[in-house]
Amino acid sequence: MAIIFFGTPDFAVPSLQALIHAREDIVLVVTQPDRLKGRGHQLSAPPVKELALKHSLRVVQPEKIRGAEFHGELAGLSPEFIIVVAYGKILPKEILVLPSRGCINVHASLLPKYRGAAPIQWSLLKGEKITGVTTMLMDEGLDTGDILLKSAIEIDDKDTSATLFAGLAELGAKTLVETIRGIRLGCIEPTPQTGEASLAPPLRKEDGRIDWTRSADELAFFVRGMNPWPSATCMLGKERIKITKARAEAGSGVPGRIEKASAGVLAVGTSKGLLVVEELQPEGKKPMSAAAFLAGRKLREGDEKPS
């Protein structure tokens, strides 16, 4: 039976690869148009497109997915499933009703928690200990469809958005294949979402600005959740600094003031506790340890105040 796959970024690649490995009949891959990227503004293909072409799958990259022409193209393929993994656009009702067994979405949270575009980052920002992936039968709402299957994992204390992203992408692929198999065997039935829902809206570059009046524990979660993008940032004098690794430590100090800057230790005061900066990246330079950063600067405790 035919499958149409909608997906765009790296997160969707393991799911497409799993379907290919399972020898599913992927009749069409729909992904976002090529975009300009990097300092050189080179035209770059989405990761899903690169994988699809490698396996000689048919790819389309419509600017708009609403309209009779595109709808007719999809309808003519008579899909059993439409699979959606981080495609980047909301599918209209006329597409949702096309497949005989429904549209399945792979979402990187344990729904109904963290509905929206940035569930991985928000699970870290909120200090969650457990997260996972959910496959759901899509409806017209924002991640409100009936649940098909859930798979949970523990969040490691060292996880960042990048490491959690990679782990959940692989878990999502495995869960997707199990979901398709279970539906065909009749052992998975859609179940309405229950429990308290929460949202995970997209992050903006300005959301990475550090608020030193928060607690050290909160800021440690913040640094992990904002890594690698949009990055946890502050200003040290006129210099923009990214903090890429940090931990909370007991202690007292003035929020935003450097309280320790010796013996390779850099710690900043917060509303409760100290944020010990372990790795950081000055603007225009490579990431470095706090010890290397301090070795190149004459900082004294209390005489500089990041903002």
pLDDT digits (tens, 9 = 90+) for 246-268: 999 999 999 999 999 999 999 99
pLDDT digits (tens, 9 = 90+) for 156-177: 999 999 999 999 999 999 999 9
Which residues are CB-contacts of 291 (< 8 A; sequence separation ≥ 6)?
Answer: 264, 265
Read off the pTM: 0.94
pLDDT for the residue 105: 98
Q: Does domain 2-185 have CATH number 3.40.50.170?
A: yes
Please report the beta strands in the chain, taking only residues with DSSP state E, as ranges in sequence order.
2-7, 25-30, 35-37, 42-44, 59-60, 81-85, 103-107, 130-137, 146-154, 232-236, 239-249, 258-262, 265-269, 274-282, 288-289
pLDDT for the residue 27: 98
Given a cut of 50, the residues of the chain with pLDDT beneath it are: none
Cβ atoms of 113 and 136 closer than 8 Å:
no
Give me the residue spans of the domains in the chain.
2-185, 205-295
pLDDT for the residue 237: 86
Per DSSP, 253 falls in state -
Rounded CA-CA distance 296/32 in Å is: 44
pLDDT for the residue 281: 97
pLDDT for the residue 253: 93
CA-CA-CA-CA torsion sign (98, 20, 175, 132): negative
Domain boundaries 205-295, CATH class: alpha beta
pLDDT for the residue 6: 98
Rounded CA-CA distance 134/254 in Å is: 42
Dihedral over alpha carbons 235, 238, 239, 243 (to 10 degrees): -10
pLDDT for the residue 179: 98
